[in-house]
Structure 1
């Protein structure tokens, strides 16, 4: 068909305008796929943060707050649970293991988590994966610290380096006034990356947490009291309270029975939360923002399609003589409709492909920043099965939108093209 060659030459003459249209479609596609991938990464991050833990126990408050603080290190605990309660739970016949967790301090913006050796033996993430030390060993001495992978990478720490913790989450000028400078820690181990909040955590022993707060009362240092690090062993370093405790059961079928039993404990008002249930509730809240992002991305795609249609319609006025020539060489009105619609589909295909390549380039450029600031990774990969419906929807929408200028071209007559109105 000779008019296809003429149409190709016409497209080449309009290549700069068409290139801008392809770029607009590519940006829309990259944004939509980028939001979808970040959504999946967020879901994976939420679901992989803790695995194999049957209950998270803490002082009675909000279940969501307890999960956010103990698992994601977000927010602040309103109250601690007593050490006696931790021991009672550990001795319960249904309990296989417990991991006590104490939070509150920080190091250069990263949270400090005090725990026991059971943390390295029983804590699981992802698909029940154990924690792996990339370097060194778990804390053996009192003032040993094990760093998450991101802490070590961002702050440039190596084994044997000395670090000083800060009381609370103070930063800037306040951090200098609240530092536990008289009791520095030594990096004894660095964990392998997990893609969870563990990577952004400094781990110390429970006794060490007690040792650095011997001179503190009600959150402030006591005036005139200073206990050197070499003398702290003379004091009882058994924890008085902890933020919470992760619990693993011998029989998971008894989880609701133990949950009710803990809630009815007469010694202390406690709360036991099922991590899976709490994470689902948390994701429902986060899902509102997720849907908002997807809606914004869809609107951007709609704007891109509207630009495509308006550009083709605007060009029709300049192409009326061209279309008339195509009619003169034998093209039927239906051929013009197909030609214009095919042009729109080709533009959509080119824009979609360019969008996938653009997203890969953006992922390569911003993934280090995302990992450093948000702990997220934007994987560089070909479109996934879950993304294919989005791509097909974009191309189908472009094809449908191209029918409008095609229908307009279909209705143009040869005489109207050869003798345009002025």
Structure 2
């Protein structure tokens, strides 16, 4: 009979106490695995992999707010930019792709964020080497819309469904008259795209209140670009010229049927919330970001930078705190193993003395006790790893259904590789003192007692 078998038989004799101490280790490791996997998932979502653009260009303000509003739709937009600004960025020789987005409204049903954009938005992978998969067809009419997978499921919408927009967010009760038709449903991505409705930017501009009053739009654009203000006569002449070309469409007066109404809108009355840029090189992106930072018109933000700051300042400390807590749970479990084995020593003195009398060396007795401690620690750790990943596997479909966040049930953190060696060391340390007690057992005295 080898030493491991003897140690295992000794553990089985104290089945209840051994099981409880091993279970405490397993629960601690399970929590640790869950924290590591969840942190890895959050790091994946709030990273460059969540958006396949080099720069987000928006109004001056907090870069983090710009990223949160544009990419994750969890913060109100800072301010809008003139449409002409987007056109100038698109013409920049350093820019490969420029996609405008306009935001501010939500769906009447479910309060999902609305994003006005162009058909080219869906030609760009939503993440590196992750193209959009769409059921349906592209934008053909001004009032066409794509919906994310979660929007479709929660609202029960399909191709051909009609939707209306609520102006200014979910708290507002101003429902626009215009209706959009669902012409495409996005396949699940595990990103904010799943909970977003994308509408044709042409239709977005024709919604009541989305076209800036002509006089105000002209004055704001000239001020934005640092151009001298027009005199009253020049302003009247410019307004007359634009109205002659495009006609007069006073949305604020409700002068026409908004359901499916479509017309051209002067560029000066259009605004964008942000512009998504793919540059021709990383150097070009850095140069553009630096130039925009020095100017007073807008800012160019690499989305990974503010998200890394968010991780460093908030999520990383939270992860560290949870890991410390779970490490303390494992440590307390180790102390429980120590107490269990140490207390059993007094009852096992005669057993140890008999082993010694039969020829067992002191070192053999010490090794058996250390083996018991290591089996409990490592065995509990292995059980904890299985329970941790089992928990992630069971939670994955529930989280996906509730939040749209796709969790890989096979997700694995490299930090888990450290768990078993640490538990092996802890088992050796925990078993050392009880092992020394067994090592020093006096054979004659124990047999006489």
Instruction: Please confirm whether the aligned pair reaches a TM-score higher than 0.5, indicating the same fold.
Output: yes
Shift of 1:390: 2.7
Shift of 1:217: 9.3
Match of 1:213 in 2: 208
Q: TM-score, normalised by structure 2?
A: 0.81
Match of 1:261 in 2: 291
Residues 167-186 of structure 1 mapped to structure 2, 5 A cutoff: 167-170=167-170, 174=171, 177-180=173-176, 182-186=177-181
Match of 1:270 in 2: 298
SS in 1 for 2:265: coil
1:243 to 1:404, Cα distance in 2 relative to 1, 3 A: farther
1:67 to 1:163, Cα distance in 2 relative to 1, 3 A: same
1:194 aligns with 2:194: no
1:338 to 1:278, Cα distance in 2 relative to 1, 3 A: same
Match of 2:64 in 1: 64
* Equivalent pair of 1:41/1:376 in contact (CA under 8 Å): no
Shift of 1:383: 5.6
* Equivalent pair of 1:42/1:376 in contact (CA under 8 Å): no
How many pairs does the alignment contain?
407
Shift of 1:131: 1.9
Shift of 1:297: 2.2
The structure with more radius of gyration:
2
SS in 1 for 2:159: coil
Shift of 1:3: 7.6
SS in 2 for 1:290: helix
Unaligned runs of 5+ in 1: none
Match of 2:40 in 1: 40
Shift of 1:203: 1.0
Is 208-217 or 364-373 further displaced after alignment?
A: 208-217
Shift of 1:115: 0.9
Matched residues in 2 for 1:83 and 1:215: separation? 13
1:383 to 1:254, Cα distance in 2 relative to 1, 3 A: closer
Matched residues in 2 for 1:377 and 1:321: separation? 58
Tell me the C-alpha RMSD between the 2 structures.
3.0
SS in 1 for 2:79: coil
Match of 1:96 in 2: 96
* Equivalent pair of 2:113/2:197 in contact (CA under 8 Å): yes
Q: What does the per-residue CA deviation read over 1:169-202, in whole Å, with 9 as the maximum and x for residues that have no partner?
A: 32xxx56x3433x333322111122222212211
* Equivalent pair of 1:139/1:145 in contact (CA under 8 Å): yes
1:130 aligns with 2:131: yes
Is 185-194 or 154-163 further displaced after alignment?
A: 154-163
Q: What does the per-residue CA deviation read over 1:233-253, in whole Å, with 9 as the maximum and x for residues that have no partner?
A: 247385632221111223442
Aligned mate of 1:321, from 350, 358, 361: 350
* Equivalent pair of 1:259/1:273 in contact (CA under 8 Å): yes
Q: TM-score, normalised by structure 1?
A: 0.85
1:334 to 1:91, Cα distance in 2 relative to 1, 3 A: same
Q: What does the per-residue CA deviation read over 1:28-68, in whole Å, with 9 as the maximum and x for residues that have no partner?
A: 111111111112212222221112x2221100001121112
SS in 1 for 2:208: coil
Is 243-252 or 158-167 further displaced after alignment?
A: 158-167
Shift of 1:224: 8.2
Match of 1:300 in 2: 329
SS in 2 for 1:183: strand
Residues 18-417 of structure 1 mapped to structure 2, 5 A cutoff: 18-47=18-47, 48-51=49-52, 53-107=53-107, 108-122=110-124, 124-133=125-134, 135-170=135-170, 174=171, 177-180=173-176, 182-214=177-209, 225=254, 228-230=257-259, 232-234=261-263, 236=265, 240-265=270-295, 269-285=297-313, 286-381=315-410, 385-415=414-444, 417=446
Unaligned runs of 5+ in 2: 214-250
